[in-house]
Structure formats: C-alpha cells, structure tokens
Structure 1
Amino acid sequence: MSIYQWGGTLLILLFIVGSIGFLFRKKKKHHIILSPSGYQEVKIRVNGKYMPNTIVVQRGKPVRMEFVREEKTAYSELVVFPHYHKSIVLPYGQKATVELFPNEAGSYRFTSQMGRYQGTMVVRDTTEKYK
C-alpha cells in the first residue's frame, strides 16, 4: 500500500469512529427546578438557538421560563408561545421571564418571531420517567 492509500484508510476510520461517537454521545439534561412557590423553573440561554430547546414539565404545575438573550441579532428579540397566546420581548443581556400554566399533556412549540429559533415544551402527566 502506498502512503496515500494508508492516509485514505486512516481518514475513513477516523470518520467512522467520529460518527459513532457523535451518534452515541451523552445528551445534556435540562435542569428544571421546583421552586418553593410551586413553579417548575428553567433557564434558557438564547445564542443562535434556545439552550435547552426541549424541556419536559409536569402537567398541572405552573412553569416559569427565564430567558437570557446573549446575542444582538434581531431574530432573537421575541419569543412566541402560540398555544398560550403569549409572547415575550427579550432585551439583550437581561433576564426576561414568562409564566405558563400547562393543564393539558402534549408538545407545545415556542419560537422566535420569524420562526428561526424553535423550542418545545413537553407536558407530561409525570416527569419521573423522563429525568
């Protein structure tokens, strides 16, 4: 085998190993805190996307989402919650909070005003098996 064939084989092997590592990587868990006031609280960073972009909450308990916008792009100025008929303005570098009351199980989207950034709030009867 020539050096070029060895190099090509090595690149293919590195690609395969990297792909397997990517597919089986450990996903970060979202941290929802149950506050003393009974709210399920989550902090969401906005910088190119919503982080985390999927949260799982328990039905029947109020949710308080705190957004921190870390970028100045116009795409991230507003978060819209279509199912709840709510929206919230996100000032750059400041915290903005929205409170929602998930009474029905299901998946509910939240997006930027132009739909470029998207997230989902999954409402379950219990969050125990989804932690």
Structure 2
Amino acid sequence: MTQTTQKETVIVEGSYAPTMVEFKQGVPAELTFLRLNNQGCLDKVHSDALMFNLDLPINAPQTVTIPTDQAGVFDFSCGMDMVHGKVVID
C-alpha cells in the first residue's frame, strides 16, 4: 500500500501563514513556501532542526521534504531569525 505524501503550504507575506503546520509521524511530508511580496527579511527560510535552507523568490513556490521519523516541534525562521514558524510532527 502506498502512503500518500502530506502536503502543506505556508504563505510568506510579512509573516508566515499559518505559523504552525502539523504532520503525522512516519508519513512522507512536503512543505511549500510561497512568498507573495518583498516585505521584511523573508527572502530566505531555514531550519537547522529540519535541515533546510531555501531562497524564496517572489511568486515562485519552493518545496522541501520534511523528515517525519521523529515526533516533536521544529522551528523555522527567516534569514535574520526575526520571523518564526513551527512544524509539529505527532
């Protein structure tokens, strides 16, 4: 039986919306960031815990695979660490 990949999109427009996304543990997951304007320092997003670092061009969705082998709360933030979001895996 094939597992369906969980997919969520975060809109980047002065902040992250939603600021928290949830995935089920053990099911493949993809998180897409879509930046809609050049407000603030949101041209990059990174997470040390989830091992990604993305440039976010305007109107160009960027997708990262989220490891779901461990449950927990994992932070992501803009390049200057001023705007924050969370990935919850449970």
TM-score relative to the length of structure 2:
0.89
The aligned residue for residue 108 of structure 1 is 74
1:84, distance to aligned residue in structure 2 (A):
2.2
One-letter code aligned to 1:90: L
TM-score relative to the length of structure 1:
0.63
**Where in structure 2 are there 5+ consecutive unaligned residues?**
none
The aligned residue for residue 75 of structure 1 is 41
Instruction: Judging by fraction of residues, say which structure has more strand.
Output: 2
The within-5 A match list for 1:1-131 is 38-73=4-39, 75-124=41-90
Distance 2:32 2:40 in 1: 19
Distance 1:84 1:122 in 2: 11
Deviations, residues 95-130 of structure 1 (Å, cap 9, x unaligned) = 111111121111000111111211001110xxxxxx
Instruction: Judging by fraction of residues, say which structure has more helix.
Output: 1
Distance 2:62 2:24 in 1: 22
The aligned residue for residue 30 of structure 1 is none
One-letter code aligned to 1:50: Y
One-letter code aligned to 2:53: S
1:85, distance to aligned residue in structure 2 (A):
2.2
**Identity, % of aligned pairs?**
22
1:74, distance to aligned residue in structure 2 (A):
5.4
Larger-gyration structure (1/2): 1
Deviation >3 Å, runs of 4+: none
